[in-house]
Structure 1
Amino acid sequence: MTDSLSFVTAGDGTRIAYRIDGSGDQPTLILSNSIATTLHMWDQQIAELSRHFRVIRYDTRGHGASGVPAGAYSIDRLGRDVVELMDALNIERAHFLGLSLGGFIGQWLGIHAPERIDRLILSNTSPYLGPAQPWDEAINSVLQSKDMTERAEMFLRNWFPADMLAAGGPVIDEIRAMVLSTSRHGLAANFAVVRDTDLRRTISLITRPTLVIAGEHDPVTAASHGRAIAETIAGAQLKVLPTVHLPNVELPKEYLETVLGFLRSTN
């Protein structure tokens, strides 16, 4: 899928890259990527999603074509980036689907900007991935490495089943390329977001209709984390798929059915 990117400038001057697919007269759906990927991690879903929604994808700061400001980032800043993107595009309310780091952002939005969110999907995510020490070590390791080669292989092992990884192919190659192209400084700054975020208590404040998607074999954000989110948010639904960490890539058809079933539901 060729790039057709536009940009908005966040409140702190950082440029955020985004693209829009679908008709403007449809409900808006915002997609938020996992750490070390870009908005293209959603490519397999776009053709179908854009039949039903005006789909807005963006590169989280520190990723893809978005800016990479110096220093550690915060979940508040990542959440405000979404609100400011919506403001710039005159979007009053939208559905929001975030995976992994994008799911952290979705939780923040559900807590702090519920008036901007219609239906919320939190995929393969967690309210807390502490303690801090392993993240500090990961940050130091990333900043000291000469490139992303070793980190890319580690991510891929954590994101996909071994047989799918061994088989390779274009989809795996595309995800690997996304990781390899990620700024080391951007990755470290977003690792700091995960290190510093603890939403375990405050997600009880989320009142928007919420679907939690978890991967049965996910070693990054365990299925138990998804269950804990669903149990904490009143009325939340839980769907556990037989996948690792990127179910939209591993089982795209089943993932799409799950997402559309929830977003198009009247319950």
Structure 2
Amino acid sequence: MAFVQLAEGELHYQLDGPIDAPVLVLSNSLGTDLNMWDTQVPAFAEHFRVLRFDTRGHGQSLVTEGPYSIEQLGRDVIALLDALDIPRAHFCGLSMGGLIGQWLGIHAGDRLQRLVVCNTAAKIGTSDVWNPRIEMVLRDGAAAMVALRDASIARWFTADFAAANPQQAKRITDMLAATSPQGYAANCAAVRDADFSEQLSAIHVPTLVIAGTEDAVTPPAGSHFIQRQVQGAEYAEFYAAHLSNVQAGAAFSDRVIQFLLAR
């Protein structure tokens, strides 16, 4: 296991693929960890040095007092790149990871080569959605995380996918139950407070926006909005709910690789 030392603790990361290949950073969704990208890594590692990490508050990374902000999480990515002596990289983030990608595109575009934002929006949800969840998690702790896990299957996957792939769905949703309640609540606040609606036109790196046709958490309309605001952005949509990288699998991987390798 590999860790980078930040000022407040350690950030867990994993590297796969050829040492001399271009770096592709993968950023996890709220309530998962770097293993949410397991389906993609074999294909991505044929072309890239794949750098996955557990976002602060998730997996084996540091859990600090909340609330967090997307800026804070974006600066963690820059610190990771700096520590590994990576001046520029491709970045692919899903949901909360997509918010981090938007922040990087707006504020640190010089560190990016190409940007992929998946199953995300300029603003995800409202305070009426996030505040009760934060209160429940801080009040009930691990029991709340188990309850969220059980409810997440219907949000993260379509019913037909979950029925046909129960072990894969369980592997992913179990990540939610294993997430630190404190870290999860702090990240919920970061998502709650983020709104890049008025800043997206500042993104000038080549960008691909990916959506899931059945995604009720971040519907395609939000992805279309990002595409319209970012000049020259490309768009792709797959039959999937919120975790399109897991559900669409190889088709998702192929589209990302195609975009990242384009001249």
Query: TM-score range, shorter-chain basis?
Result: over 0.9
Between 36-45 and 150-159, the greater mean CA deviation after superposition? 150-159
Q: CA deviation digits over 1:166-185, x for unaligned, max 9?
A: 34432112112211101111
Counterpart residue number, 1:189: 186
| CA distance in 1: counterparts of 2:50 and 2:125, whole angstroms | 32
> TM-score with structure 2 length normalisation?
0.97
Counterpart residue number, 2:91: 96
1:247 aligns with 2:247: no
1:161 to 141, 158, 162: 158
1:136 match: secondary structure: helix
Counterpart residue number, 1:63: 58
Counterpart residue number, 2:172: 175
Between 62-71 and 162-171, the greater mean CA deviation after superposition? 162-171
Q: CA deviation digits over 1:205-258, x for unaligned, max 9?
A: 000000000111100011000000000000100111121111111110110111
2:38 match: secondary structure: helix
2:216 match: secondary structure: coil
Compute the displacement of 1:162 (Å). Answer: 1.0
Between 75-84 and 121-130, the greater mean CA deviation after superposition? 121-130
2:46 match: secondary structure: helix
Compute the displacement of 1:34 (Å). Answer: 0.4
Letter in 2 for 1:60: T
Compute the displacement of 1:123 (Å). Answer: 0.5
2:93 match: secondary structure: strand
Letter in 2 for 1:10: L
Compute the displacement of 1:130 (Å). Answer: 4.0
Letter in 2 for 1:85: L
Letter in 1 for 2:175: M
Counterpart residue number, 2:31: 36
Give every structure 1 segment of 4 or more consecutive aligned residues whose post-TM-superposition deviation is greater than 4 Å.
Answer: none
Q: Percent identity?
A: 44
Compute the displacement of 1:10 (Å). Answer: 2.1
| CA distance in 1: counterparts of 2:153 and 2:190, whole angstroms | 21
Letter in 1 for 2:48: F
| CA distance in 2: counterparts of 1:130 and 1:213, whole angstroms | 18
| CA distance in 1: counterparts of 2:134 and 2:100, whole angstroms | 20
Q: 1:75–1:178: structure 2 CA closer, same or farther, 3 Å change rule?
A: same
Letter in 2 for 1:139: I
Counterpart residue number, 2:3: 7
Q: CA deviation digits over 1:87-117, x for unaligned, max 9?
A: 0000000000000000000000000101000
Q: CA deviation digits over 1:7-47, x for unaligned, max 9?
A: 11224x13110000011110000000001000000001111
How much is the aligned-residue C-alpha RMSD, in angstroms?
A: 1.1
1:52 match: secondary structure: coil
1:8 match: secondary structure: strand
Q: 1:222–1:27: structure 2 CA closer, same or farther, 3 Å change rule?
A: same
2:20 to 17, 25, 28: 25
1:213 match: secondary structure: strand
1:76 aligns with 2:44: no
Between 58-67 and 240-249, the greater mean CA deviation after superposition? 240-249
> TM-score with structure 1 length normalisation?
0.95
Between 176-185 and 217-226, the greater mean CA deviation after superposition? 176-185
Letter in 1 for 2:4: V
User: Any stretches of 5+ residues in structure 2 without a counterpart?
Assistant: none
2:184 match: secondary structure: helix
Letter in 2 for 1:220: V
1:120 to 109, 115, 119: 115
Q: CA deviation digits over 1:26-84, x for unaligned, max 9?
A: 00000000010000000011111111000000000000000111120011100000000
| CA distance in 1: counterparts of 2:56 and 2:99, whole angstroms | 14
Letter in 2 for 1:201: E
2:213 to 213, 216, 219: 216
User: Any stretches of 5+ residues in structure 1 without a counterpart?
Assistant: none
